[in-house]
Structure 1
Amino acid sequence: MTISPELITDASEAPLPNATMGGDSKRSIEQITLLAFIMVPFLALLAAVPLVWGWGVSWLDVGLLVAMYYIGCHGITIGFHRYFTHGSFKAKRPLRIALAVMGSLAVEGPLVRWVADHRKHHKFSDAEGDPHSPWRYGETLPALLKGLWWAHMAWMFDEEQTPQHKYAPDLIADPAIRWISRKFIYFTMLSLAIPPIVGGLVTMSWWGAFTAFFWGSLVRVALLHHVTWSINSICHAVGKRPFKSRDRSGNVWWLAVLSCGESWHNLHHADPTSARHGVLRGQVDSSARLIRWFEQAGWAYDVRWPTADRIEARRQSELTETA
């Protein structure tokens, strides 16, 4: 079991208020909205290449893209994932709220739904019940290709959703976190609005606002989406596995910087509550570095740092790697 038992309850217990507007089922309007939020940024990402070739991109737009990308990315990796899902550390109340907001700016869905899905993923990782395993359809090449598509993004359109009251009752019980989760659409609007507002004010032009929106909002969201989804798909299909885990999670080095350390996925599944995922020499993990700074500032405490003995106990007898 990779999730603290106290974080999952019997669904038959007295229900708490829903933490997302759609509850535990996804309505048609939600699926259409999801499709729009996926396709529009993706089309912008495709258009980015010829636009750079033909007109270039300003340093302001690049700065907005990078800044908004890493604010949202660390909000997901440190906040939604290592803190809210796995309890890798404890946080003072202001940091707890800040991480919830930062993660919401990544436009990856309401906080409570994200956490519930991920806790269920760890409970059934790469087995029946896993919401997004690439091995869902089997191990032949056609089955794996179909599974990779499912794990990368198709699973999000499944009408049946993870029961939030069963997998994330601790978050639903917190009024502030429940409010942030329910107001996801407003944080999405804020996330998309910040770049064009800044770009328009700095350049004092509508064109500056438009290009900032294109690069800092649309392209940034698409890039972050596909990097995050690659952890579900690519990192469960290929990669080195120096640590023992009961699934097929692997380390994919070329995603490490863009994923803020999440692609050192094998250690994470071998030791889910560890605050650091990149534990071997040369494994860049910016999320762990920021957690260390939060700890030094007194904002985070009881951080579950990996010890040498704990790392060694999880090593494989031989290094394995998939094609």
Structure 2
Amino acid sequence: MSPPRSKLLRLLATASLATLIGAGLVWAQEPPIPGAPVGLGEPSDFPRTAAEDEVWLLYQEDKLLSARRKVEELLADDPDSIVGHYIYGQVLRRAEASLPKAMKELGRARELYERRYQPTVVNAGQTPWALHREILYAGQAAAGELERHEYQLQLLDYHDSLYDPRLTAEHAWPLMLLGRFDEARKYAEKASASTDPFQRSLGRNALCAIEGEAGTRSERFDACLEAYDNAAQAARGDDPFAHPDQITSVTVHAYNAALAALSVLRPDEAERLALAGATRIEFTPANPWRFLLRLYLDQGRGSDAVSALREMQAWRRKQPPNLRE
């Protein structure tokens, strides 16, 4: 039996003070690895077993539980499998949110790869560079989630020393969190002018966050709204049947813009933006219903707040484990 509405509203008000007020800006969803590096051609093939092929296919099909079971068997038979350690790290990160263990596995995959292939600027084209880039990208993402921002920057710099296109926008967020705002702004502005759509999106997202950290409310709203408008325009070309992690990131930009709208005392615009972000499911911690719950409670809109709470929990249940909290 559902609790009485009056009791539910009291619980909502109490919970909002602890978990909702003061929500911060959110980094855009992790994009796929950019296209083939300039001048490197196709990744070289490399010796691999049938077991590695099976694990790789399960992971690519997002069958993470099956991939976990198979990859444990693979690593028991072949403890030096590069593919095995990479897939195990990604499963731990994405399916279980076990970040320290994931970081260890991804680090082992990188160690084994670099020991075997010894990649340099000169020989990168003769190595299976796509696998290396996947390992480095996953490693820097996990480092950021663990708040190891200096190490995250080291991985990004190492990637960019070998491969193009560079991960320009990805530098901005850890630099900002380290308080290196001028450097962060330069990377974000450069990414915003990129021809790569993912870099542009992440760059604008970072500019929005940087203005928020700087406390410039009007500039923050302008930057966040521009990021949202550009993302919404790009999303018009998305396949309506695509998987949530294969579509243009819009919700996170809408969420950040809604927060910025509140900072300039525009609650109606904030509600419009948050509702726009709630029109489809994306894999992101930026739950638009969490924002709307807080807004409705602040405005004394009890019935809307109850509905938003239900939607907030439904949204959360649809997220992968590493994005639910």
TM-score, L = length of structure 2: 0.24
Select the structure of larger CA radius of gyration. Answer: 2
Q: Specify which structure has the bigger relative contact order, considering alpha-carbon pairs within 8 angstroms and separated by 6 or more residues.
A: 1
More strand by share: 1
**TM-score, normalization by structure 1:** 0.25
Query: Which structure shows the higher helix fraction?
Result: 2
